[in-house]
Amino acid sequence: MKQTITDRGFEYIDFEDSYNNNCSIQKSSLADEDTIWFGINNIEPKIMAQDAKKVGIKTEQEVGWIEYPIPKEVFINTRMHLNQEQVKELIPILQKFVETGEI
């Protein structure tokens, strides 16, 4: 994990999940409530090569996953915006997972 400060002065921790996706936890700039952003930074949608042609994606690849293009006009939020109460509710679940591997 790499801890830094954003250009706007907010704490930011960058890390990778078990699939090597770039993730982060960041203090939010929300003015009226303490919140954090938490999750994957960018999506990388994929589709099975065998299904690509069905949805209009041209590819020579016949097996495996290929990139699924998302139009630039589409916004997809990848990170949760959590307040203190929401995080408080998640802590026991996460702690149980740390201790037992179960949720």
CB atoms near residue 18 (< 10 Å) = 5
Identify the pLDDT of residue 45: 93
Residue 1 sits in the same domain as residue 23? yes
Residue 33 sits in the same domain as residue 60? no
Task: Determine the Cα–Cα distance for residues 11 and 25; give it in Å rounded to an integer.
Answer: 8
**Domain carrying residue 103:** 1-42+78-103
Identify the pLDDT of residue 24: 97
Distance of CA 15 to CAs 7, 11, 24, 41, 97, Å? 18, 14, 6, 10, 19
Q: For the full predicted model, state whether its pTM sits above 0.85.
A: no
- pLDDT tens profile 3-37: 999 999 999 999 999 999 999 999 999 999 999 99
Number of domains in the chain: 2
Residue 48 sits in the same domain as residue 25? no
- pLDDT tens profile 44-93: 899 999 999 899 999 999 899 999 999 899 999 999 999 999 999 999 99
Identify the pLDDT of residue 33: 95
